[in-house]
Amino acid sequence: MGLSKTIWTNPTEYLRNQQPDNPVLFFAPSVAQAAARRFIDGFPGMVTYAVKSNPGEAMIENLAAAGIRGYDCASPFEIDLIRRLAPDAAIHYNNPVRARHEIAYAVERGVKSYSVDSKSELAKLIEMVPADGTEISVRFKLPVAGAAYNFGAKFGATSELAVELLRDVAAAGFIPSLTFHPGTQCTDPAAWEFYIREAAVIAQKAGVTIARLNVGGGFPNHRLNAVVPQIETTFQLIDRVATEAFGADRPLLVCEPGRALCGDAFSLAARVKAVRDETHVFLNDGVYGTLTELPMIGVIDRMEVLTADGVKRTGPVQPRIVFGPTCDSVDRLPGELPLPADIAEGDYVIWHGMGSYSTVTNTRFNGFGDLQMATVLGLKL
Ligand SMILES: *Cc1c(COP(=O)(O)O)cnc(C)c1O
């Protein structure tokens, strides 16, 4: 102890020095800022950040420093967080179902952009939000595959309803816009094409020229060694299709990525608690901790294993059943993971691409989940 160092070169240096027994998430601000610049340089419109994916203060401060000027918030808590950390940024309140006290709060905090997907929720907004200079984006959904997880199951109006809502928004004097979310970790750019073309049809049927089209989040981060996200291809497609579909009425474009901005900026180190009778591997983190998403949207195979001394294990791998630390039998990672055959108690399993939906979904179930954070210059071991 007695170390004053607060920024480490990489995870290996930290693990070697600290020998942590709790799970550690390593944050590389340089990677977060590079992701932000990649979007700002490549996306043909305004880039906003979906706060829910990782609301850590360091995350938001680094995105703001890199030039992110808009934030997709879902709750008064997130609105407060952004007002405090990025006071001049635009807030888009894009949770389409809100209690009246939440709407009142947003109005009081000067929020000027809301999404909606139902008549009843639009009626609340019309009643409570001053129309003047305020945007309402109608969120619609299509039966489109391509994402790891279907967001349309909860939110989004059908195209027919979206036409009516868009007309009602314009008639009530709000700035009319459209929005969609193709589903998270969407590796198929064609999903955006379907949605953008349908948005043009909805606007045309409603007889409304929309101010903006928000093409959602859903941009993938790097989870599988074999699938490296090519988001520039998606940006180019979005740009081309927006012009083809809308022509002279092309709206301004907005995107609201979550995982694509924060995902690759974090790596996790989980420690091996036991290799039970030389078969099952027990870790100090699992599906009630930062690995919550793995059973839902699939494994991350960007993994490496270090010995307790920080030496990479490079020998042959063997598929293993891997359990988290709680006593719940659900606390098991999906399938079998290819881990070094000589993995041993005290080793660290490192997962890359762990920044999204991990810090926020970590629980203290069974007394575990005492997550540590460390800042590093880079994430390469
Ligand atoms: C969660 C969410 C996002 C971010 O989704 P990612 O798949 O993480 O990019 C964007 N917009 C809305 C409305 C969301 O609910």
Give the domain CATH number at 238.
3.20.20.10
The CB of 257 under 6 Å from ligand 1? The reply is: yes
- Which class for 193: exposed (0-12), middle (13-18), buried (19 or more C-beta within 10 A)? buried
Q: Are residues 251 and 270 in the same domain?
A: no
Q: How far is CA 245 from the centre of its chain?
A: 28
278 or 37, which is more confident: 37
pLDDT over threshold 60, residue 4: no
- Within a domain: residue 381? no
The CB of 234 under 6 Å from ligand 1? The reply is: no
2 or 270, which is more confident: 270
Q: Which atom of ligand 1 is nearest to the CA of 139?
A: 13
- Within a domain: residue 334? yes
Supply the pLDDT for residue 154: 80
Q: Return phi, psi of residue 346, to 5°.
A: 95, -15
Q: Are residues 89 and 221 in the same domain?
A: yes
Q: Which residue's alpha carbon is at the smallest distance from atom 13 of ligand 1?
A: 94
- Within a domain: residue 117? yes
Distance, in Å, from the CA atom of 323 to the CA atom of 294, rounded to the nearest integer, reads 12
pLDDT per residue over 136-166, tens digit each?
999 999 987 766 666 567 899 999 999 999 9
Residue pair 23/269 in contact (Cβ under 8 Å)? The answer is yes
Instruction: Look at the block and give the residue holding tokens 């180190």.
Output: 269
- Here the tokens at position 206 are 């409603």
pLDDT over threshold 70, residue 327: yes
Q: Are residues 60 and 181 in the same domain?
A: yes
Closest CA to 186 of 139, 152, 135, 140: 152
- Here the tokens at position 138 are 């109608």
pLDDT per residue over 222-251, tens digit each?
999 999 999 999 999 999 999 999 999 999
Mean pLDDT of the chain: 95
- Within a domain: residue 17? yes
* Number of Cβ within a 10 Å radius of residue 175: 18
> 52, 68, 150: which to mutate for ligand 1, most atoms within 8 A of CB?
52
pLDDT over threshold 50, residue 1: no
Boundary (domain end) residue, out of 235, 262, 289: 262
Boundary (domain end) residue, out of 214, 240, 262: 262
pLDDT per residue over 358-370, tens digit each?
999 999 999 999 9
Q: Are residues 45 and 120 in the same domain?
A: yes
Boundary (domain end) residue, out of 262, 285, 315: 262
User: How many angstroms is it from 353 CA to the middle of ligand 1?
Assistant: 17
Supply the pLDDT for residue 156: 94
Q: Return phi, psi of residue 208, to 5°.
A: -125, 130
pLDDT per residue over 102-126, tens digit each?
999 999 999 999 999 999 999 999 9
Supply the pLDDT for residue 149: 61
- What residues make up the domain containing 10? 3-27+264-376
Q: Are residues 186 and 251 in the same domain?
A: yes
Q: Are residues 196 and 207 in the same domain?
A: yes
Q: Which residues pair with 157 in a beta bridge?
A: 140
The CB of 258 under 6 Å from ligand 1? The reply is: yes
Supply the pLDDT for residue 2: 43
Instruction: Look at the block and give the residue holding tokens 């809301």.
Output: 114
> 149, 154, 180, 184: which to mutate for ligand 1, most atoms within 8 A of CB?
184
Q: How far is CA 251 from the centre of its chain?
A: 25
Domain count across the chain: 2
Q: Are residues 41 and 142 in the same domain?
A: yes
Kind of pairing between the strands at 70-73 and 135-139? unpaired
The CB of 355 under 6 Å from ligand 1? The reply is: no
Closest CA to 26 of 15, 41, 37, 38: 15
Q: Are residues 306 and 200 in the same domain?
A: no
Q: Are residues 154 and 55 in the same domain?
A: yes
* Number of Cβ within a 10 Å radius of residue 70: 18
Q: Are residues 150 and 276 in the same domain?
A: no
Q: Are residues 219 and 273 in the same domain?
A: no
Distance, in Å, from the CA atom of 336 to the CA atom of 300, rounded to the nearest integer, reads 12
- Which residues are CB-contacts of 140 (< 8 A; sequence separation ≥ 6)? 117, 156, 157, 158, 159, 161, 162, 178, 179, 180, 198, 199, 202
Q: Are residues 212 and 276 in the same domain?
A: no
pLDDT per residue over 208-217, tens digit each?
999 999 999 9
Name the maximum alpha-carbon separation found in the chain.
Answer: 69
The CB of 358 under 6 Å from ligand 1? The reply is: no
Distance, in Å, from the CA atom of 12 to the CA atom of 6, rounded to the nearest integer, reads 14
- Within a domain: residue 44? yes
The CB of 92 under 6 Å from ligand 1? The reply is: no
- Here the tokens at position 250 are 């092309």
For range 306-330, the mean pLDDT: 96
pLDDT over threshold 80, residue 3: no
User: How many angstroms is it from 18 CA to the middle of ligand 1?
Assistant: 35
User: What pTM was estimated for this model as a whole?
Assistant: 0.96
pLDDT over threshold 70, residue 5: no
Which residue type sits at 245?
Answer: A
- Within a domain: residue 131? yes
> What CATH number does residue 270 fall under?
2.40.37.10
